[in-house]
Structure 1
Amino acid sequence: MTDSPIVISVDGRHGSDLSSSRPSRQDCSRALVRTGHHRDRDGQDGIDAAPPVNGGPGGLLVVELSESEQLESHLHAAVVRSDSWQQPVPAVDIPHYQDLLLSSAGGEGEDGLTGGDGQSGLPGIKGVAASRETDATDGTDGGNGGRSRMESLGKEVQEVREEMVMSGSNLWVTNTICQLELSPNKLDAVQECPWKLRLVSFDIEDENGDGIFEPGEHVIVRRIRISNIGGMPSPLKRIQLHVRPSKHFVPDHAVQLSIPPSIAPDTTITFEGVLRARINTPTDVSHAGKRFRKPGVRLSIAATLPWLNRTLPDFDFERSFDIQFPCAFSNTDNLASVHPGSCSSLTFAVMNFGNHAIGSEAKQSREIQIQLTVPAEHGTLSDDRTQILDEVILDMPVIGPKASESLSQALTFLPEVQAPLRLHVTLALYIADPSYGAADDASDRASDQGLILVHTIQLLLQISELYRYRAASEVLMVVNSKTPPERIVALRELIRRDLGMIADFWDVDLNGGLHINKDGRTENVLSMYDGKTVLLLGENFQFFTAKSRTIVEMCDSRAVRRSIAAGTSYLALGLAGEKACKTFFQRAVFDVPCPVADVGSDIPDSARFPNANVLAHALVQQKQNQNISTTMFMLPIRRRWYHVLGPSAKRQAESTSRRLRRRLPQSRCLVTTTQSTSQNSMEGGESAKTDHGQVLVLLGADRSAPLRATEKTRDRDNKLSAFEKYMIISSLTSKRRAHLIWSDATPVGGDFPFVTDAAICSLAADCVVDITIYAYSAFRMGSVDMPPATSPNFDRYCYVLKRTVQYLFHEQAECRKERGEGRYQYAGRCEANSVIEMNGNSL
């Protein structure tokens, strides 16, 4: 419940009070009755009442408002001048919880009087109506007094004060606060809009003038423009200006600034003076790799009436700026992969973003230091005094404005470091605090207390094994600088411990690609592992200055397809579904496409055959010898005399495709024709032979080409999942998997280890593919007996049932057969759709 307001009133008198004070108005009701007159037959009307008295007008009231000197948090209202029928209270103190009501309303008019009764008429003659008594008319209402102006001046003390200062009444400035005049005669002359200040603009500058607003220095506000859009001059008293506080900076209250007094209406002024705010020092500068920068920080100022403790509206103008340090690291350059015992150079630059030169030798000296740190157990750094340290501090003499300076540092890796290993070299950039930089004493500027951390980066280096070719190795692991060391170790343990094999390691970043200098000539490293397994690890990496890529984008498709024909198996770990991997597989299966019209002239004579049978026979021999150097072949189109109207070129191409598919069921072949390019002509009196075109055959990789890929693993520990282990085992050559199954080191019985089970399962799936393709080959003639290894027909079975033969006729299997062990079991007579049994496991 709110308290009733304090009222200062100069209201007019009511009409009833005015009428009661007049003697002529007393007992006037008796005069309204007619007496002493001769009554006639007709009655007479009553006498009308006297008109009512209007209420008195409101008076003049001039009130002066100021802060109370006796009571705290009270507003003092003093009546300076008044003109009314009653004297108002001369002064009053208003507490903050009460309202002030100034009233200058006119008095209420007098109520209307009742008219006199009419005189009754005498009895009339029969048949003639007597006159009726006339009712008295009601009196008119009393008139209102003068118009009232401004009934309430606020809700609470702050709003009361603001209404007093900002109201639309007749307001003028005095040496105290203000005076307010309420008068019925001056209502039309009251100003409808008081003074009103608006912030137009202001400028901001950094403290040291380099154009960088950095943590620790002050933002300076200058050249403030303010406009008076009201209808009266601004107050004579000073209106304080200050910077609004923010989480990014703190206003400097030691510097005060006020708006000039009495700004005329419709006037804009620009005044000098400064406001300052200190930018806070951030706490998240130490995040490695990220340059500290806070873009779009907004700064605004506010105007406060100190006598009312209120802020003015229309001060919404803002300036935005970026908080950052004047320098940062840029253009870092280092080798992504190194090997133990090597020495590498780290190159980096420090960029100056400001308009002033910085550094210990600059005109405005401001020290810059770079700290390099390397783990002592992995490497060492050398300083100018050739001392071997794990931490080096470099001093930057001078960096010009908007320029950069480069530095380099030698880094030596210890030879006893166990690869693979990921190494972090930390670079930290320090600069003198702006306040220390402005000091006159050089010793104060160089003190450690004046250095603050502005940027930190970590250079990532991969320590990989130096490549060493071993003839006994059966697996080549192709890694890069982004391959997690834990994943490399897991693969190495699987290959060495579980599979009992030797693996070579090739880091494309360390070796600069996939080529190796062998006996004075450059050779693709993949060609050195024919008939073995190549594991391609699929992490994205940046190859020197090139864009990010995967390892399959660096493989030569021709070299890969040649090695596939030689029996090499490829497994891309973590690349399934990638567009680059799909393109790699397509190009590894077939040569890069080219226009048919450009092919004919490039085919050598050794790749031109008279018909499809001769071509199929030659390809079978080459595949058995694993010596296929040519993939494009040409056959002539021979038009028969009875094919006058028939499309012999198309029919011959279809016939060639069917013959190759039946004779070479494992091969992929693309068959097409070229248009007839020669025509009848007469040269030397003889007719040239007609060329009807050619049939072109593009030979691709076998249908059972060992090209596999797995999806990316989501294991944060970079461990190998069971599926990845299975895929790695299935990517081994069929001969090696048969050895894992038949080896004496493999336990015999129903409880097979994971490696043996994976080898049996994967090899069984491959045998099913061989048998399925064999069922539709030209060699199938009903039931087929598996001939012994000494049979002349054994070679063709080795071609179409290559993996099945490698399993059944493995040397360890023959030894077990001679020993009569039950693990060697197979059906000697195989139908096209028959099932080969291996120790009870169906293929």
Structure 2
Amino acid sequence: MTTTISVNGPDGVTLARSSGIRLVHNDSQALVLRGQQPATRHGQPASNAPPAIPGGPAGTLAVQISESQLSQGAIHVQVVESHQSHRLPTHSEVPIGRDLRLTAIGGVGEMGHNGGNGEHGLDGVDGMPASQGSDATNGTNGGDGGVAGRGSNGADGGSGGDIHIIVDESSTHLLMSVSWDLKGGIGGRAGHHGNPGEGGTGGKGGMGWQWEEIVGYKYFCTDNCIKADAYVPTSALARVGSQLNAGRSHASASTMAMMAPLRARAVSGNNLERFIAQAAVAYNAVRTPRTDPGACKCGGGSGNCAGCDMKPIRHNFKRAPGLNGKDGELGASMTTPLTKGLRGANGTTTIAVQHIDGTIQRYTSAWALELVSFEVEDDNADGTFEPGEYVHIRRVTVRNVGGMPSPTVPIPVSLADHSDQFEEVSAEDGGVAYLPTSIPATGEASMEGSFKVRIKPNTIFSSTGTRFSERGWFQIRADMPWLEKRMPSFELRKEIDISYPCGFGDFDHLCTVAQSATSKITYKVQNFGNQPIGETNVSTERSPRAMEVSISMPHVFGHLVASTTGVDASRIDEAVGLIRPRDTITMQQQFRVLQNAENHKHFLVTFDLYLEAPEQQHIDMRDMVLVERRVVRLQVSSMYMRTPNAKVLLITNPKTTERESQAIQDFIQASLRMEVDLCNIHQNGGLLYLPEATAMSELEETDSILHTYRNKSIIFLNNAFNFVDCGERTSAQLCHSTWLKALATNNSSAFFIGTPKDSGFESKLRQSVLSIPYKCENGLKHVEQSRIFASPELFVEAVIQERKLGVLSTGLSAIMVKEKKWYHGRHPRAEREATMLTTYLNNHLPNERFVVTHDDMGHLLVSTGLPHRHSFRSIDSEIALQPVTHTNPTLGRLDRYSKFMIIATIPFHKRVDMMWRGVTASTSVSQAIQLSILLDLQGQIDNLQNSRSKKLLRIARDDVEDANTIVTIHIPFVADLLNHGNAKVSALPPLAVIHIFQWLLASARRIQRHRNLENIIILLLRSRPSTIQLLASPDFTAGISTNDPDKLLDQTSELTQTPLFILQKGQTSSRDVVPQTELLSPPQWDAIVAEIEEDRKRIADDMAMAKRELGKMVMEPVTSPTNSALELA
């Protein structure tokens, strides 16, 4: 809002109107008659535009300003002198909040005018058409267009006027609300030249004429021609006469051509008769009909006779059309450039300052202050700006960029009102300071002293585990006294980092703590400032700001142990000792987990760091501010203890939830009726029995807790977790391949749940199955003499003997290659022999797995791997829990897929025993056991199909013992099924076992190779008292015919409610990783040995690290007289 006093000059348009000047538009007129004489056909020229009128000059204005005596904050304006057409008021009041604007702007020049458009030329007259007697006339030319009118330039603007401001020295601050404008008037925009007239269209020429005219006659002889008396006819004449008598249409071609009219001949002027005569001569025709006396020329006469035939000769004549007239020319254009008017000259300003001593100082511009810089300092000088602290603004520097000294009145400076992180401090408390006065033009000055602002307290607490930090900014403002107006050019923004001078550092603790164990959490508290903080024991020193850590944990899991008294409590406040500037101290807190704390439950220990507020509001107590909160997540785990009757070992980790652990245990105990051992791999420090066994040489098979589990199931929760300070690990990565091999030799099986994709699990399985003990170059040295064979046949016979006796040997063997002639070379033969041996073993022992190579001497090395009956399984999905129900409101139940995989992990002979004895808790469990058995049988039959040996299943006729040996060696799962103790009694097998036999016979009938398998199974069924009657049963035989062995996966998908693609792609087994006997080159053989040794060393290092961490974190129990009471409470 402004109050304006002006002496502006008049605009050129206004001057033109007031002087009576008017523009007259002389339009070009059409063709007119003057003095009864036709005017020219050319267009008339256009009129030129008149010149534009320039703007008038601005006047002169002299005012005196002062503080109003009528209204607070208003400005009194007295017009001392003014030169202008209208009279201005002598006295004016500018209310508070409004600005005074003085203007002496020159008038705006009039815009240039446009020239007229030239008149169009008249069109030409069309010519007359031609006739037989006269030619066509030409059209006349069109008239030229008129000349374009000339436009005019824009007029110049008027010059600016003069403004004089008179003010007392004590009132120069009022100039902040005064502005003036003395610029010259704007020049008028240039006009435009007119458009030239267009030329008239030329007249069209008269049309031509064409007609036909008889130019003469032609005579032809006939049979009637008159002959002379002495004329003797000739044959030629006779022929001519006969042709003529034939008719006129039979005239010769030359005669017809002469009679045809010629093309039209052009005629001009009055010479038509001459052209007709010329045409007659051209045709040898007579102009008028005539008959010569006497005989005809054909009869000896000299001319035609009365008997001749006459025909007229016709010819076409034409007269050319007239020419068209030319179009008129375009009128002449104006090409002179037109320019806009010039801006008028600016006026002048004079500021006359009256001093107290009566002298007057004149200036051409007012003062103008701008903020250059300012500095901020925190109140307690610790170098950090924390919430609730005062901030001092010092050394505010301003620059006078105007042309006169700044005001003599003090200008207050304070915090700008649009700061989100800062709040003002009252003037009484130091929230205001004043800028320097009378700063000369172009000079700088800095403020004396300082003023304070306060950082707003932190009302929104940062998320747990995050240190508070915020980027804050603020601006300062200067307000002019009397005017109560904020000064411009104070837009400098200062940004500072708001944070606390202290915070938590690193935390060190175990992720899993055993029940009834006492552990500790070590943590650091850091001082980020330049002043000491914390409590000191020296009373003479100045007490720094106090700090304390408040620690709490749920009482249902355990208690905190006070460092001073040793008393247990669920919440403890620990004072923080003195921390020097930029230093760190380490603190620790012990806690004890209750014996009855829920296993695999997670609980939180909360650490709150408090700091004494920077400004204390109470004298009798300290105000503390919450600075940071950290939460330590811990897991309760039972101490691992071997249970004699346990059939399953469940290995968990810190990420295992209590619901997952309990759901697995409930299923195994309630549905499978088996006891479960629990081992938290993190809390136990790995899979070793003795924490002391950490050296590489001590990592033997017997050191692992897995070694004592024979005929058991081991379930690994194999998701990744942080293992002490070793980084991220999985349970499989903490299990050496030799331990898994020991599991297999003990007839135990392993199931890994939630295996990550890139965890190296397949490599671990490969190492376990192949089980290569030594490098290739040293292999022969470690082969026992009894295991060196002369041929592959002897080696296979030895393996068969071991399997008959139930011996599982996984040692190293050698086969000697026959010596060759020296000129045949060595290694190519060894490679061929190794390839042939691999094929031979796959054909003769399809359900065994070996790895074959050759050494530098050409000997074949064979490492006996784990047979296919020993399998390790893994799924990439983690444990899934079904939604809770009203019957099971606290713990989720396992999904069907997880249940099925756990059942499939039970050793095969154990599942067979459960089927024969019928010890299952539900139908679904029985179905799962049956399906898992069939899937394993299908795997061994598929391996059998890969063998190309025709004699593999050959037996002596009706030799039961021979048949039993065959299945024991080549299909051991079938042997387990048929050699069960209940098969030797006369009672019929359970229905589930009967279904398995039906599927087995149906599958044997469908195989392409080794079709003798069906006869072997039938022979064995007839030899068992429990199954001898089945073969004679029609129902049993019908069940074989209707059984479809290829539907196992579909049945499994339906039972587990799992899509087929998950069953096919979401599992990994040792059979998938090592499907058959493999041939390795010596470098590949050595690479596996190196991987096994490297894995052994890494696990040893991890165990050593776990031992150190457990030693530091697991404390001796602290006795307290209140411990038992608290636990009972």
> RMSD over aligned Cα, in angstroms?
4.5
Give 1:631 shift: 4.8
Whole-angstrom CA distance in 2 between matches of 1:142 and 1:635: 117
Give 1:148 shift: 4.4
2:591 pairs with one of 400, 411, 416: 411
Give 1:329 shift: 2.6
**2:386 is matched with which residue?**
214
Identify if the C-alpha distance between structure 1 residues 577 and 351 changes in structure 2 by more than 3 Å, giving closer, same or farther.
same
**1:258 is matched with which residue?**
434
Whole-angstrom CA distance in 2 between matches of 1:15 and 1:285: 69
Whole-angstrom CA distance in 2 between matches of 1:16 and 1:797: 123
Whole-angstrom CA distance in 2 between matches of 1:351 and 1:478: 39
Give 1:795 shift: 3.9
Whole-angstrom CA distance in 1 between matches of 2:518 and 2:990: 61
**2:974 is matched with which residue?**
804
Give 1:66 shift: 5.8
Whole-angstrom CA distance in 2 between matches of 1:417 and 1:328: 32
Identify if the C-alpha distance between structure 1 residues 299 and 784 changes in structure 2 by more than 3 Å, giving closer, same or farther.
farther
Which amino acid in structure 1 is aligned with residue 468 of structure 2? Answer: F
Give 1:499 shift: 1.0
Identify if the C-alpha distance between structure 1 residues 609 and 275 changes in structure 2 by more than 3 Å, giving closer, same or farther.
farther
**2:489 is matched with which residue?**
313
**1:50 is matched with which residue?**
none
**2:846 is matched with which residue?**
665
Which amino acid in structure 2 is aligned with residue 671 of structure 1? Answer: V
Give 1:524 shift: 0.8
**1:42 is matched with which residue?**
none
**2:929 is matched with which residue?**
759
1:500 pairs with one of 652, 660, 673: 673
Give 1:624 shift: 5.9
Which amino acid in structure 2 is aligned with residue 498 of structure 1? Answer: S
Matches within 5 A, 1:51-200: 58-65=58-65, 70=70, 76-82=76-82, 88-93=88-93, 102-103=103-104, 105=106, 146-148=159-161, 164=179, 170=349, 172=351, 195-200=367-372
Identify if the C-alpha distance between structure 1 residues 69 and 745 changes in structure 2 by more than 3 Å, giving closer, same or farther.
farther
Q: Deviations 1:472-497 (Å, cap 9, x if unpaired)?
A: 22211111222111110011001101
Give 1:537 shift: 0.7
Q: Are positions 1:732 and 2:914 aligned together?
A: no
Q: Are positions 1:279 and 2:459 aligned together?
A: no
Structure richer in strand, relative to its length: 1
8 Å CA contact 1:346, 1:409 repeated in 2: yes
> Which TM-score applies when normalising by structure 1?
0.75
8 Å CA contact 1:771, 1:832 repeated in 2: no
Whole-angstrom CA distance in 2 between matches of 1:820 and 1:763: 15
Give 1:733 shift: 1.3
Identify if the C-alpha distance between structure 1 residues 741 and 318 changes in structure 2 by more than 3 Å, giving closer, same or farther.
same
Identify if the C-alpha distance between structure 1 residues 172 and 812 changes in structure 2 by more than 3 Å, giving closer, same or farther.
farther
**1:114 is matched with which residue?**
none
Which stretch of the first structure deviates more once superposed, 813-822 or 627-636? Answer: 813-822
Which amino acid in structure 1 is aligned with residue 907 of structure 2? Answer: T
Q: Are positions 1:345 and 2:345 aligned together?
A: no
8 Å CA contact 2:548, 2:611 repeated in 1: yes
**1:772 is matched with which residue?**
942
**1:422 is matched with which residue?**
602
**1:551 is matched with which residue?**
731
Identify if the C-alpha distance between structure 1 residues 453 and 171 changes in structure 2 by more than 3 Å, giving closer, same or farther.
farther
**2:647 is matched with which residue?**
474
Q: Deviations 1:203-251 (Å, cap 9, x if unpaired)?
A: 2222111122222212222223333455554444444433344332323
Matches within 5 A, 1:341-740: 341-361=516-536, 363-383=542-562, 384-436=564-616, 444=620, 447=621, 450-517=623-690, 523-591=703-771, 596-597=776-777, 605=785, 608-622=788-802, 630-641=810-821, 644=824, 647-675=828-856, 691=857, 693-703=858-868, 705-713=870-878, 720-740=894-914
Identify if the C-alpha distance between structure 1 residues 423 and 291 changes in structure 2 by more than 3 Å, giving closer, same or farther.
same
8 Å CA contact 1:243, 1:301 repeated in 2: yes
Give 1:670 shift: 3.4
Whole-angstrom CA distance in 2 between matches of 1:489 and 1:482: 14
Identify if the C-alpha distance between structure 1 residues 347 and 579 changes in structure 2 by more than 3 Å, giving closer, same or farther.
closer
Structure richer in helix, relative to its length: 2
8 Å CA contact 2:104, 2:182 repeated in 1: no
**1:127 is matched with which residue?**
none
Which amino acid in structure 1 is aligned with residue 685 of structure 2? Answer: G
Partner secondary structure for residue 515 of structure 1: coil
1:744 pairs with one of 914, 918, 922: 918
Whole-angstrom CA distance in 2 between matches of 1:395 and 1:731: 54
Whole-angstrom CA distance in 2 between matches of 1:233 and 1:563: 96
Partner secondary structure for residue 428 of structure 1: strand
8 Å CA contact 1:782, 1:831 repeated in 2: no
Which stretch of the first structure deviates more once superposed, 378-387 or 566-575? Answer: 378-387
Identify if the C-alpha distance between structure 1 residues 592 and 65 changes in structure 2 by more than 3 Å, giving closer, same or farther.
farther
Identify if the C-alpha distance between structure 1 residues 622 and 320 changes in structure 2 by more than 3 Å, giving closer, same or farther.
farther
Partner secondary structure for residue 657 of structure 1: helix
Partner secondary structure for residue 436 of structure 1: coil
Deviating beyond 6 angstroms after TM superposition, the runs of 4 or more aligned structure 1 residues are 12-17, 53-56, 95-99, 106-109, 141-145, 165-169, 518-522, 592-595, 782-790, 819-822, 834-840
Which amino acid in structure 1 is aligned with residue 852 of structure 2? Answer: V
Q: Deviations 1:6-36 (Å, cap 9, x if unpaired)?
A: 554375999999xx99xxxxxxxxxxxxxxx
The sequence identity of aligned pairs, in percent, is 23
Looking at both structures, which has the greater relative contact order when contacts are Cα pairs under 8 Å and sequence separation is at least 6?
A: 2
Give 1:571 shift: 1.4
Structure 2 unaligned runs (5+)? 20-52, 111-153, 164-174, 184-347, 356-361, 884-891, 1018-1035, 1046-1129
Partner secondary structure for residue 994 of structure 2: coil
8 Å CA contact 2:879, 2:894 repeated in 1: no
Identify if the C-alpha distance between structure 1 residues 98 and 195 changes in structure 2 by more than 3 Å, giving closer, same or farther.
closer
Which amino acid in structure 2 is aligned with residue 695 of structure 1? Answer: L
Which amino acid in structure 2 is aligned with residue 258 of structure 1? Answer: Y
**2:168 is matched with which residue?**
none
Identify if the C-alpha distance between structure 1 residues 101 and 496 changes in structure 2 by more than 3 Å, giving closer, same or farther.
same
8 Å CA contact 1:15, 1:142 repeated in 2: no
Q: Are positions 1:227 and 2:433 aligned together?
A: no
Whole-angstrom CA distance in 2 between matches of 1:579 and 1:304: 68
Whole-angstrom CA distance in 2 between matches of 1:144 and 1:766: 105
Whole-angstrom CA distance in 2 between matches of 1:615 and 1:774: 19
Partner secondary structure for residue 521 of structure 2: strand
Give 1:652 shift: 0.9
Give 1:821 shift: 6.4
Whole-angstrom CA distance in 2 between matches of 1:308 and 1:349: 53
**1:329 is matched with which residue?**
504
Structure 1 unaligned runs (5+)? 22-52, 110-140, 151-159, 177-185, 676-690
Which stretch of the first structure deviates more once superposed, 578-587 or 165-174? Answer: 165-174
Which amino acid in structure 2 is aligned with residue 88 of structure 1? Answer: L
Whole-angstrom CA distance in 1 between matches of 2:550 and 2:159: 85
8 Å CA contact 1:11, 1:57 repeated in 2: yes
Give 1:504 shift: 0.8
Whole-angstrom CA distance in 2 between matches of 1:389 and 1:142: 96
Give 1:709 shift: 1.7
Identify if the C-alpha distance between structure 1 residues 73 and 212 changes in structure 2 by more than 3 Å, giving closer, same or farther.
closer
8 Å CA contact 2:561, 2:591 repeated in 1: yes
